[in-house]
Structures are given as C-alpha cells and as structure tokens.
Chain A
Amino acid sequence: MSPNRTGPDRTRTEAEVVRGFRRAVRRRRQWQWSLGVAAIAVVVLVYWVLTLTSDNPALLPPPGEILQGFVDGVRDGSLVDATLASLRRVAIGYGIGCAVAVVVGSLRGWFRFVGYILDPIVDALRPVPALAYIPLVILWFGIGESARILVIGVASFLSCIVSVTAGMRRVPPVYVDAARTMGARRTRIFLTIALPSSVPFIFAGLRVALGAAWGTLVAAELIAAQTGLGYLLQAGQEFFHTEIVIVALIVIGVIGFLMDALLQAVESWLLRWSPETRR
C-alpha cells in the first residue's frame, strides 16, 4: 500500500504480484469477518447496557442469564430436542415443497400449454398466505405432524415457484435456436438448455422459500405441538421465561443463517461458469 515498502521504482516480479493479490483477498476476508463479529458484539453490548438500566430483569434478562438458559437447554436436552424436531419439519416440508415447485414451476414456465392450464390455479393460490391454510389443514388432517409439515411445504412451494417460472421464461432464445439447429429436440432442450440457464432463478426461489419455511415453522408449531422451537417460544412466554424465548429466537436465526450460507455455497459451485458469480 505505501510506496516506500517496495520502492516506487522497483519492478515487482510475477511471484510477488501473485502474493500481493492473495494478500489483498485475505485482507478483505479478514475485514469482512472482523467487522461482522464486531457488529454483533455491539448489538450485544447495547442490549446489555439496556438490561442494566431496566428495573425488570424478568422482561430484559442480561446476556449472562440468556447464556445460562442456552447451557441449561443443551444440558437437559430440551433445546436440542426442540431444535431437532423443528429441523426435521423444516427439512421435510421445505424439501417436498421446493421439489414440487421446481418441477411444476419449470413445466408451466417452459411448456406454453402447461402454463395456460396451471397459471390461473397457481396465481390464484399465491396471494393466499400459507398460514391461512392452517384451519383447513387441521380440519382435513387433524393436528398431527403431517399437518405441520404440510403447512411448511405449502409456504415453501408458494414462495419458490414464482422465480422458477420467471427463470424458465427468461431463457435467452438464441440458446434454444442454437440447440435446435444442432438437432436437439424438445425434451433435450428442456433438460440441457432451459434448466441450466434458469439455475440462478431457481436458487433465488430456493433462498426465498427457506425464509418462508422458517417463518411458517413457528405458526405451524402452534398446531398443538409438544416439541419444537415454536413450542419453546410459546412455552417460554406462557411460563414467563423471557431468556428461553430469546434463546429460541437466536437458535432459529443462526440455523437459518447457516442454511442460507450452505445454499449460497452450493449455488456458487453450480454457477461457477457464470460471470456474475463472486469468488
């Protein structure tokens, strides 16, 4: 950075230039991490100061008490059980919902007549929030595990399908024309041109759906659940354990963050060909 370190007139060798580039990348990563962690630390600090000025520790438990709540939850297994139960519901509901969304969304986006048939149905279902289906789901399926998973699945499906369809309708026509003049037919073009060129859109849908799935989880676990992070939230409120409510919120946030990071990693591997992928 400072010109004196190498001297302004000294010619740098290629090896030095490569080392310089690597150092620049490393430095950027270090800044990214340390600023991110510092920001979280500031939030915790501000919260801690707030708890000090408050006269009701039951409503604003200090950070130490929250940490204690977390440790207790892990020790007695209640937090671990709740987390695993919720993860399982999200994984199944989200997986099924998104799989159906990718299949249905790409078929209706790609094949015009499938679109004519499915567009009115899907577009009429979309404005209805997934939570609004809960009463009907309870009437039809009772209040079991499948009802909770179904609600999460519906939420994932509805938020994923829009961008899958949009991606299919934005495939550059020149790729399709090129494939056709090479002798490719409908099915091959769908699988080898339409799908890969929609991958960025499909992943945008998957990431939005992930948020929707977690968002619906708590509501889904209101359906008479005895386990899960949503249940923990509710129980914490009922028994006036504010620290448990906060712990559950943090765990939901951290898991959502990690799952999104995983999706991003898969996406940038799948999109390693794209000029827009950041490395």
Chain B
Amino acid sequence: MTAGRKETDVPSLDGAGTAAMAARSIQHYFPTGSGKRPLLVLDDISFDVPPGAFVSIVGASGCGKSTLLRIFAGLVRPTNGHAELGGRPITDADAHKGMVFQEDAVFPWLTVRQNVEYALRARRTDRSRRGGIAREWIDRVGLTGFEDAYPRQLSGGMRKRVDLARIYASDPEVLLMDEPFGALDAQTRLKLQEELLQLWEQRRKTVLFVTHDLDEAVYLSDLVVVLAARPGRVASIHPIDIPRPRTYETRGTERFRQLTVQLWHEIESLDRTSRSATDPQAPEVVA
C-alpha cells in the first residue's frame, strides 16, 4: 500500500484527502457525576495522518491522548466531530484498526500460538492458512520455540512481542499503539523500539503511537503531534526529518537532541500556561 515510498522522504502535511487517518474537529466530554458539569477532555482536535507514516502523539499526562487513540480505535465515540479511516468516519471497533495497549493484553489462558491465531480466527482467516501466518509472525518477533508456552511463562518484553505478532498477523490497515512499552524496563523498551522499527520497515503500515517518552517519539516517528492539556488540544505538529533507517546511534546525533529538547521545552511551557490560564491556544505548526 505504500510501496512507492522511498526510505528517506518525510510525509508531507499537505495533500488533504489522501490521509490514511484523520481527526475532524473532535471534541469529547467525560461524565463527572450527577449535578456537576461534564469534563471537557478533548477540544477541537484536527490533524491528518499521511498514509504509511509513523505518527506519535505526546503531551503531559491528562491531556487525553489515550482517549484520542481509543476514538481512532472505535472503542470510544466522541461527543462531537469524528475520526476517519480512509475517508470514512470511524464508528466501531473492528479488525481494520489494530491496537496495542499499555497493559498486558495477551490472553493468559491461550498459548503464544493460540493468541496469534485468535486474531486470525476473529477475522475469519482460512483455517488452512492460520498456522502458517501465525508461525511466520512468531518467528519475526523472535519467539520461535515458545509457541506452546503460556504467557505466564514469558517475560514482560516477550509478552509484548506476542502482542505485536498478534496484531501484525491480523493485518489491520492501521496500527494504534497506546504507550505499548510504558510498563517495560528501560533496556527492554529500547530493544522493543528497535524491533518495532524493523517490523515497520518491512511492512509500512500507518501507525499512530501515543507516548510520554519524547526520545521514543522522535526516534520512531515521521511526525510528532504535541497535545496541550486541560482540555486536550493540538498545540503543534513537528515533522521529524531524521533519515531512515534509524539505529541506536541516531540517538547520539545533534539533530535528535535538538528535536527532543525542543519538544521538552514546548511541553514544559504548555504545562506552565495551562496551570496559569485555561484559555485555549490556537494550534500552530512548527516547521
């Protein structure tokens, strides 16, 4: 689907209508209990996700980034506005939008192989093809030999790999990831970021990735969307012009540090202003 793309070009923001996913004036309220005013968590969120792009959403905790991702997954229906997949409004969860969660979502009562095959069964893949597809993805995430293990026998990092294999095997149009490596230790997190990039280089699916780790966002992404908090709004969108393929050494480059520092300062100042004033700022694009 993105076969024509070269390794180094950064997806552009213009060319509306060709977006793989888009947020269209999304506004969302949470109930706060009877008698009180509902809480505005997302306000007027609009942006495009170009096809085949890796887009991260960052922002202070409580800015509604997870809620926004769940809206894209079809797990939450926004109060106003909508999210789009391929130009069509997203109304329900289905196999077109695969999601990886921060919590352990690998089914503990199924073995590694059964977990991967679950996704294939749910989308009614031919019985004869399930085994082969499952084997292929278990191999790609490096879990060959653990097919018949139960999740309790695996480490946290290995369980995340099962999750990745499962979602890739089900072959969704887009991948949604909600701080997938947030609960892992630092070493494992770096390793899985590396592996995720390798998988993504092989199959360039459009990815929307929520994180609070700025290094992670810059390292993985083509675009980083910064959300301001209370209520969540798009503060800025940063193209990440670091060439691919990226390696561990990329983290030591001048450009990498510039970008992470810039993002850090922006989120810091947003945090300060959101505490002093609740006046929503107009989104600006920093190039």
Name A's B-contacting residues (CB within 8 A): 172, 174-175, 177-184, 188, 192-193, 196-197, 199, 272-275
Contacts and interface: CB of A to CB of B under 8 A. Distances in A.
Interface stretch (B50-58, B104-112, B238-246): B104-112
A181 B150 contact: no
A274 B101 contact: no
B268 interface: no
> 5 tightest A-B contacts by CB?
A183-B95, A180-B93, A178-B105, A181-B99, A275-B152
B73 interface: yes
Given A183-B123, A273-B152, A178 B170 contact: no
Contacts of B110: 273
A178 B109 contact: no
Nearest to B170: A182
Nearest to B172: A181
Contact of B152 (A179, A181, A193, A274): A274
A192 B118 contact: yes
Contacts of A184: 122
B9 interface: no
A7 B282 CA distance: 76
A184 B119 CA distance: 8
Contacts of A273: 108-110, 150-152
A181 B107 contact: no
Given A174-B101, A184-B122, 15 more contacts: A177-B70, A177-B75, A177-B93, A178-B101, A178-B107, A179-B118, A181-B98, A181-B172, A181-B176, A183-B123, A196-B109, A197-B107, A197-B109, A274-B152, A275-B152
Contact of A174 (B93, B103, B118): B103
B259 to A, nearest CB: 30
Given A174-B101, A273-B150, A274-B108, A181 B118 contact: no
B166 interface: yes
Given A174-B105, A192-B118, A272-B150, A180 B75 contact: yes
Contacts of B109: 196-197, 199, 273-274
- Residue among A172, A180, A275 facing the most chain B CB atoms (10 A cut-off): A180
Interface string B133-163: 0000000000000000011100000000000
Nearest to A272: B150
A183 B152 contact: no
Interface string B96-132: 0111010111011110000000110011000000000
